[in-house]
Structure 1
Amino acid sequence: MKEQPAQIRWERRTQRPLLALAVAFAVAYAVPIVVPDASRTVTRTCTAVEWFVWASFALDYLVRLLLTDHRRRFVRTHWLDLVAVILPMLQPLRLLRLVSTLMLVGRRARMASQIRLTTYVAGSVVGLLMFGSLAVLSVERDSPNGNIKTLGDAVWWSFTTMTTVGYGDHAPTTGLGRVIAVGLMLSGIALLGVVTANIAAWFIARFEKDDVEERRQTAAIEELTAEVKALRAQVSALSGSLEPGLESDLEPGLEPGVVPGPAPAGSAVAGTEALGGTGVS
């Protein structure tokens, strides 16, 4: 059995620990927002956890880069990972750490073959709803004209924004809140497209499977019909070859198809005279 490359082995070994760190990041990011009056110790601890998780993903990127045999191609094909690693270093904002961590988690999850598309989409929806709600609440709560003041308002706004319904009862008023809204709307449209494409691909695969089965049955019927025709031809050929043999077994002077009848009564006497006898003495 061929040994797997070191990069693949590293990715498989670190997948679960990195996902656990992502959950820790979610908790650390949510606590200061849900509990705004938390102590400074709790806030600092959450901030340290956020930076530690980001540093772990950055270290993972560097290790994979060192383990690969084609580093330039790795950088070209994983440029989003590089952006996610560099992004929080440009400006120490919690929102940038959130975006970079989400990008890194998504990239690592996509590399895992055992995670199916439906699971990935469901996890993306839950993650975007949660982080979108927390992010918009953190930037809109202190806005003078903002109308998203509670976590319930933020979750409702995230649902209506991701589904592109937009009731308008809650809307961001700050520039950063509107940036979050744009990202959430684009993400919702993209996820809806992925789900629709997945369902369409399932139906197409199902129809193709039925079509292949129908074509297989048609080919089997045509093959059986050809065999029946060949058998008929062989039977006809055998019948034609048997007729001359039957004609050679007939007595001379008889026509084919004429069965010889019983000899006349005088034929026995004639036969005796031909042998030179005159009868029994």
Structure 2
Amino acid sequence: MDEESRLWRWRRRTEVPLFVASGLFLGCYAVRVLAHGLGPGWKDLLLAVTYGTWALFVIDYAVRWRLSGEGAAFLHRHPMDALVVLLPLLRPLRIVQLYETVHRRRAEARLSLYARVIAYAGISALLLGFAGALTVYSAERGAPGATIKDFGDSVWWACSTLTTVGYGDVTPVTALGRTVAVGMMAGGMALLGAVTGSFSSWLIQTFTLDEDTGPPGRTPGAP
């Protein structure tokens, strides 16, 4: 069996377990940020689970690197894999790879793939917004001059940032908060672009098929 086949089998087998691990990672992080009355024992347990799930992504990245046989080129050809290692809660953003798959499969009916792109992009936007709100709330609470005083303020800020509206009524003042804001702006534009691009392509494909097919008895392509 060649290396490409082994890599494909590894990806297929680990996609769902690693997606569950990313949800566990996000859940533990959320509890640590939002549950203020946790005892030291619970905090240590949640921290251990967080680092444990993170280690799974590091192992997965190392195995994919090894099976690819690409050496250092793997990092440049698969930047999303490296991003997931740094921030496991962003694993749903692998929607980019699915979007590329849609465009590579031009000879097949792609309605189901377009629907998956739109659905996964919506889920990714929700998870990205929630993760960003948690991170900014953790960084901003108690900071001098902070306008984000509770988690509700952070969620409102995340919504306006993801949609690139930016009302400016609440803004991060810490370096970490502003760094997260830049990432969320870029992520929001990318996800919106994936959704609008997929929907536009699906509409064009649908209208093209209707025009080529025409009414019964009509020769395709005839005026």
CA contact (8 A) 1:54 1:101 kept: yes
For residues 198 and 61 of structure 1, the distance between their equivalents in structure 2, rounded to whole angstroms, comes to 29
Q: What residue is the counterpart of 1:161 in the other structure?
A: 161
For residues 9 and 123 of structure 1, the distance between their equivalents in structure 2, rounded to whole angstroms, comes to 25
Residues 210 and 159 of structure 1: CA distance in aligned 2, closer, same or farther (over 3 Å) = same
The one-letter code matched in structure 1 to 2:209 is K
Q: What residue is the counterpart of 1:208 in the other structure?
A: 208
**Equivalent residue of 1:15, what SS?**
helix
Question: TM-score, structure 1 length as denominator?
Answer: 0.65
CA contact (8 A) 1:81 1:103 kept: no
Alignment of 1:56-205 (within 5 A): 56-82=56-82, 85=85, 87=86, 100-104=87-91, 106-107=93-94, 110=97, 116-205=116-205
Q: What residue is the counterpart of 1:252 in the other structure?
A: none
Q: CA deviation at 1:164?
A: 2.0
Structure 2 residue ranges without an equivalent (≥5): 102-111
Q: CA deviation at 1:130?
A: 0.6
For residues 84 and 14 of structure 1, the distance between their equivalents in structure 2, rounded to whole angstroms, comes to 14
Residues 170 and 70 of structure 1: CA distance in aligned 2, closer, same or farther (over 3 Å) = closer
CA contact (8 A) 1:80 1:103 kept: no
For residues 221 and 124 of structure 2, the distance between their equivalents in structure 1, rounded to whole angstroms, comes to 47
Residues 111 and 167 of structure 1: CA distance in aligned 2, closer, same or farther (over 3 Å) = closer
For residues 132 and 221 of structure 2, the distance between their equivalents in structure 1, rounded to whole angstroms, comes to 57
CA contact (8 A) 1:164 1:185 kept: yes
Q: What residue is the counterpart of 2:218 in the other structure?
A: 217
Provide the identity percentage.
Answer: 36
Q: What residue is the counterpart of 1:240 in the other structure?
A: none
CA shift digits 1:86-144 (9 cap, x unpaired): x5xxxxxxxxxxxx213555349946979721222012111111101101100111112
For residues 219 and 5 of structure 1, the distance between their equivalents in structure 2, rounded to whole angstroms, comes to 41
The one-letter code matched in structure 2 to 1:101 is P
For residues 59 and 28 of structure 1, the distance between their equivalents in structure 2, rounded to whole angstroms, comes to 20
The structure that has the greater radius of gyration is 1
Residues 108 and 61 of structure 1: CA distance in aligned 2, closer, same or farther (over 3 Å) = farther
CA contact (8 A) 2:6 2:67 kept: yes
For residues 207 and 34 of structure 2, the distance between their equivalents in structure 1, rounded to whole angstroms, comes to 49
CA shift digits 1:58-101 (9 cap, x unpaired): 1011112222344455343124434654x5xxxxxxxxxxxx21
For residues 8 and 66 of structure 1, the distance between their equivalents in structure 2, rounded to whole angstroms, comes to 13
Q: What residue is the counterpart of 1:35 in the other structure?
A: 35
The one-letter code matched in structure 1 to 2:189 is I
Structure 1 residue ranges without an equivalent (≥5): 88-99, 223-281
Question: TM-score, structure 2 length as denominator?
Answer: 0.80
Which of the pair has the greater relative contact order for Cα pairs under 8 Å at 6+ separation? 2
For residues 26 and 81 of structure 2, the distance between their equivalents in structure 1, rounded to whole angstroms, comes to 19
Q: CA deviation at 1:26?
A: 0.9
